[in-house]
Structure 1
Amino acid sequence: MKLRKGREQIDVDTRVGPAVVRLDRRTKDLTKRLQAGEIAVIRHSDIDRVSAEALVGCRPAAVVNASASTSGRYPNVGPGIIVDSGIPLIDAAGDEIFDLLTEGEEIRLEDGKVLRGDEVLVSGTLLTPALVDEAMEDAAAGMNEVLVDFVDNTIEYIRKDSDLLADEIVVPDVRTDFTDRHALIVVRGYHYKEDLAMLRTYIREYRPLLIGVDGGADALIEAGYAPDMIVGDMDSVSDHALASGAELVVHAYRDGRAPGVERLASLGLESVTFPASGTSEDIAMLMADDKGAALIVAVGTHDTLIEFLDKGRRGMASTFLTRLRIGSKLVDAKGVSLLYRQRISTWQLVLLACAGLVALLAAISATAAGQTALGLLGAQFDGVAQWFALLFGIS
């Protein structure tokens, strides 16, 4: 079968295995242990971009989805990312696959069938580029209705989440000092790796406070940084990140319930809770603003309709209200990379000039004519030095 990758055509063998199978109903949990060459079994309706990129990054032999990879609700790009990477994707295999398979056993795939030896366990649809394109076109055709519903829900929830604009919102006391500092808030969203790479020089020079929102803490660690604070439900961040020494702020419901506290307590870690409506990335921004951050730089946060739908959100009330409250203090990482230019100090310029002069002299001295010229220049320098010595009576 031919699958697209940009404008190229690549061959993909739809017969996969035998290979070890890994199963998990939560894609983000599966990608933590999925190894290259294994077969991933997931249950993920409307595979989003971030999940698809995480799966592709694990380099599995194939992906089997118990659910429909595209439900038709909106044009999610996840299936296309997997298919275009050359990884076979079997769609709508049925939830019974989780009862029929055991993690670690070997299975094989053939033309949409999942087999143990010669026994066909379940069958699904092997997605092709044409099928993915057709599903995207059908989903895009209904976007007007989705957009109207999204706006209606946003307006409805603005009324419920209006506490995000209220002055009486209670931000907890934290030990991290934000006063007049830049705060870099990292969410494991669209293009977060590229954004962090672009900001490497900015981070080195400005040394902003590094705040990971749940899995964003792992993103910071993977990029070589130590998070100063981790904010979130604590459901998608690794134990390693939680034990990194960062201050932990658990996002709680408005009634005070905070399930994430139990996990931290089981790890022997202390935390503070922040009861508020909205998302964890919203409360991270609100905290930075309330505690006096001079600038808030967002990495991987959600801005477009497709991104919100990818996260399963039916509106953007809290995001809208949070940005309204923070105002111009908040900038996107891509904006920083466009506006920011590395500062070059005077001593760096002097060092660069000296290095250039040394290189020039070395090049001149490598030729016979250059050696003669340097000799004459040296003789002139000696004459000037003797004149100064006689002028000032130096013997």
Structure 2
Amino acid sequence: MRLPMLRRTRTAEPGQVVGTVRLDRRTKRLAGRLRPGDIAVIDHVDVDRVAADSLVAAEVAAVLNAKPSISGRYPNLGPEVLVKAGIPLIDEFGEELFEKLREGDVIRIEGSKIFRGDEPLAEGNRHDTETVVQAMADAREGLSVQLEAFAANTMEYLKQERELLLDGVGVPEVETRLSGRHCLIVVRGYDYKADLDVLRPYIREFKPALIGVDGGADALVEAGYTPDMIIGDMDSVSDDVLRCGAEVVVHAYPDGRAPGLARVDQLGVPAVTFPAAATSEDIAMLLADEKGATLIVAVGTHDKLVEFLDKGRAGMASTFLTRLKVGGKLVDAKGVSRLYRQNLSTSSLVLLVMSALAAMAAAVAVSTLGKAWLGVAAEWWDKLMFNLFS
């Protein structure tokens, strides 16, 4: 993992961190405003890996969390990512942290204390490798409780959305043709950049329908593609990408409320809504399946139990049932890359080139035109040597 280059806004003494405050109660929303050297102030219980990856990518100087970064409910992956990247993580400041700080404040961090100038503001709990390892060990002991809750949420979702899962009731009509095609669904999740990179030959050859889930649409554009469809609650996709011409499907609550629709309407982009209790990545898979996609390739999505729990939402229970529903159509991007990519050794490549050259030479030697050409070439070579050495 690339370590952040900390460009701080003020000169700091050894052991101190000085930077400009950027704060937001939603880490995903904050990530788009961060600049290298900023100090991120968040309100995030159990920081997950996706959030931590976004903070590392933004090259923040430090992370201040009003809530516990590790509550002990389950072994969440985010704090370990931040600590390994060398980013100070200090938490459990309480709600007053958002009351004392304002966007653009320049603050100083000394150990676990925060100062604005000479004014002490707050003191929290600073994490390091040792404290994170111990907290993860403690969290694993209570994992059975979270598994029971996850199973209960899964059953509740099945009762609530069984018509959608079994019969496709509620799936909207869309203009993008998906029937008989491969669909590539991109979520801005774990390792999405690497997955997209190895899938370039697959995309070039099969030309799948490209579906971006919220910020996954930006990921497609950053990789040089134009999404065919954008699905989600529209909280992390950029305005420019929303206007790129892709068909827009706004994820709505089961009662029909769609907070993201107001933003889309304001931009003048036509859209349809998809009411469901599932996550946005799940409704993208359900829509592709219902509309007849022959293969669904997932990039950056969640496929392991620890990832479901790390997402930290009861709604992740829908992912388990969604994957059962789409069944054999769904292939993880890493699996596709291993199946599609062929490793050709250097020696094999050299042998292939030599074989091709030998075949060409043999064809020239036995053909009438080839013999004539060789005679002309030999005569030209003799004249060249005569002129050089006579």
TM-score of the two chains, using structure 1 as the length reference: 0.82
User: Separation in 2 of the partners of 1:380 and 1:230?
Assistant: 60
User: Separation in 1 of the partners of 2:24 and 2:276?
Assistant: 31
The equivalent residue for 1:289 is 289
TM-aligned CA deviation for residue 35 of structure 1: 0.7
TM-aligned CA deviation for residue 326 of structure 1: 2.1
Identity %: 60
1:28 maps to 2:21? no
Gaps of 5+ in 1: 6-11, 362-376, 386-395
The equivalent residue for 1:263 is 263
The equivalent residue for 1:367 is none
Tell me, yes or no, if the aligned pair for 1:162 and 1:321 is still in contact at 8 Å.
Answer: no
Tell me, yes or no, if the aligned pair for 1:62 and 1:89 is still in contact at 8 Å.
Answer: yes
Tell me, yes or no, if the aligned pair for 1:164 and 1:277 is still in contact at 8 Å.
Answer: no
Runs of 4+ in 1 over 6 A off after TM superposition: 377-380
Tell me, yes or no, if the aligned pair for 2:286 and 2:322 is still in contact at 8 Å.
Answer: yes
Counterpart residue type for residue 97 of structure 1: L
Q: Which secondary structure does the structure 2 equivalent of 1:87 belong to?
A: coil
Once the two structures are superposed, residues 232-286 of structure 1 have per-residue CA deviations (whole angstroms, 9 ceiling, x without a partner) of 1112222122111111011223332222211111111110112233221122112
User: Separation in 2 of the partners of 1:178 and 1:197?
Assistant: 23
The equivalent residue for 1:389 is none
TM-aligned CA deviation for residue 322 of structure 1: 2.4
Structure 1 residues 171 and 341, CA, compared in 2 at 3 Å: closer, same or farther? same
The equivalent residue for 2:209 is 209
Counterpart residue type for residue 382 of structure 1: G
User: Separation in 2 of the partners of 1:77 and 1:277?
Assistant: 25
1:382 maps to 2:375? yes
Q: Which secondary structure does the structure 1 equivalent of 2:314 belong to?
A: coil
Structure 1 residues 183 and 307, CA, compared in 2 at 3 Å: closer, same or farther? same
User: Separation in 1 of the partners of 2:324 and 2:228?
Assistant: 26
TM-aligned CA deviation for residue 325 of structure 1: 2.7
Counterpart residue type for residue 153 of structure 2: N
TM-aligned CA deviation for residue 316 of structure 1: 4.9
TM-aligned CA deviation for residue 118 of structure 1: 1.3
Once the two structures are superposed, residues 41-97 of structure 1 have per-residue CA deviations (whole angstroms, 9 ceiling, x without a partner) of 111110000000110111111111111110111111111111111111112122212
Tell me, yes or no, if the aligned pair for 1:282 and 1:319 is still in contact at 8 Å.
Answer: yes
User: Separation in 2 of the partners of 1:59 and 1:227?
Assistant: 28
RMSD: 3.0
User: Separation in 2 of the partners of 1:118 and 1:51?
Assistant: 31
Q: Which secondary structure does the structure 2 equivalent of 1:161 belong to?
A: helix
TM-aligned CA deviation for residue 13 of structure 1: 5.2
1:54 maps to 2:44? no
Tell me, yes or no, if the aligned pair for 1:111 and 1:126 is still in contact at 8 Å.
Answer: yes
The equivalent residue for 1:390 is none
TM-aligned CA deviation for residue 310 of structure 1: 2.2
TM-aligned CA deviation for residue 123 of structure 1: 0.7
Once the two structures are superposed, residues 165-192 of structure 1 have per-residue CA deviations (whole angstroms, 9 ceiling, x without a partner) of 3326142221211122110001122222
The equivalent residue for 2:17 is 16
TM-aligned CA deviation for residue 14 of structure 1: 3.5
Tell me, yes or no, if the aligned pair for 1:107 and 1:116 is still in contact at 8 Å.
Answer: yes
Structure 1 residues 211 and 156, CA, compared in 2 at 3 Å: closer, same or farther? same
How many residues align? The count is 353
Q: Which secondary structure does the structure 2 equivalent of 1:74 belong to?
A: coil
TM-aligned CA deviation for residue 143 of structure 1: 0.9
Tell me, yes or no, if the aligned pair for 1:187 and 1:300 is still in contact at 8 Å.
Answer: yes
User: Separation in 2 of the partners of 1:201 and 1:34?
Assistant: 33
1:169 maps to 2:169? yes
User: Separation in 2 of the partners of 1:353 and 1:80?
Assistant: 48
The equivalent residue for 1:153 is 153
The equivalent residue for 2:221 is 221
Structure 1 residues 13 and 125, CA, compared in 2 at 3 Å: closer, same or farther? farther
Structure 1 residues 113 and 57, CA, compared in 2 at 3 Å: closer, same or farther? same
User: Separation in 1 of the partners of 2:373 and 2:66?
Assistant: 86
TM-score of the two chains, using structure 2 as the length reference: 0.83
Tell me, yes or no, if the aligned pair for 1:158 and 1:317 is still in contact at 8 Å.
Answer: no
TM-aligned CA deviation for residue 317 of structure 1: 4.4
Once the two structures are superposed, residues 117-145 of structure 1 have per-residue CA deviations (whole angstroms, 9 ceiling, x without a partner) of 11110111221111111111111111122
Structure 1 residues 315 and 151, CA, compared in 2 at 3 Å: closer, same or farther? farther
User: Separation in 1 of the partners of 2:48 and 2:150?
Assistant: 18
The equivalent residue for 1:374 is none
User: Separation in 2 of the partners of 1:41 and 1:215?
Assistant: 21
1:237 maps to 2:230? no
Structure 1 residues 194 and 165, CA, compared in 2 at 3 Å: closer, same or farther? same
Which deviates more from structure 2 when the two are superposed, residues 146-155 or residues 60-69? 146-155
The equivalent residue for 2:139 is 139
Tell me, yes or no, if the aligned pair for 1:253 and 1:277 is still in contact at 8 Å.
Answer: yes
User: Separation in 1 of the partners of 2:253 and 2:118?
Assistant: 50
TM-aligned CA deviation for residue 227 of structure 1: 0.9
The equivalent residue for 1:45 is 45
Tell me, yes or no, if the aligned pair for 1:151 and 1:315 is still in contact at 8 Å.
Answer: no
TM-aligned CA deviation for residue 343 of structure 1: 12
User: Separation in 1 of the partners of 2:114 and 2:355?
Assistant: 64
User: Separation in 2 of the partners of 1:127 and 1:213?
Assistant: 33
Gaps of 5+ in 2: 4-12, 362-369, 379-390
Tell me, yes or no, if the aligned pair for 1:178 and 1:288 is still in contact at 8 Å.
Answer: yes
Equivalence map 1:55-94=2 (5 Å): 55-94=55-94
Q: Which secondary structure does the structure 2 equivalent of 1:37 belong to?
A: coil
Structure 1 residues 62 and 262, CA, compared in 2 at 3 Å: closer, same or farther? same
The equivalent residue for 2:127 is 127
The equivalent residue for 1:373 is none
Q: Which secondary structure does the structure 2 equivalent of 1:288 belong to?
A: helix
Tell me, yes or no, if the aligned pair for 1:150 and 1:315 is still in contact at 8 Å.
Answer: no
Structure 1 residues 238 and 139, CA, compared in 2 at 3 Å: closer, same or farther? same
The equivalent residue for 1:391 is none
Tell me, yes or no, if the aligned pair for 2:278 and 2:315 is still in contact at 8 Å.
Answer: no
